[in-house]
Amino acid sequence: MTASPAQYLQETAAWTQENFEISVPVNVSYELLEELLAKRLEILISENFQQFIFILYRTDVAEKRVKMILEEAAATGTDPYKPIAALIIERQLQKITSRATYKQDHLPDDEERW
């Protein structure tokens, strides 16, 4: 049985809650998750930039894309938080989808798993 995109979003919400120390409602929508994460990112960037960088590194978000978002926001005078939140959510969804796709449940023993 494969998981649905809604289940992947809920896994991402749980991960976000744990890693960003925010309260995320059950069955959260993508838009609400993005909004909650953007608010947390605003605080994190202004108060603890090193932790923000660490989380980006751990999440494996493309540094180039984050820099582009920050540069564009600075040039246009807009907030970078929602685009960065979307980047983090999308990356986490990619990782969950990839793990589910390549999961190896039916191997006979640990010797065969690698």
Task: Kindly list the domain boundaries of the chain, sorted by start residue.
Answer: 30-101
Spatial contact of 12 and 93, defined as CB atoms under 8 Å apart: yes
How high is the pLDDT of residue 99?
87
Q: Is the pTM of this model over 0.95?
A: no
Spatial contact of 39 and 33, defined as CB atoms under 8 Å apart: no
**Per-residue pLDDT reduced to its tens digit, 59-107:** 999 889 999 999 999 999 999 999 999 999 999 999 998 888 887 665 5
Spatial contact of 23 and 17, defined as CB atoms under 8 Å apart: yes
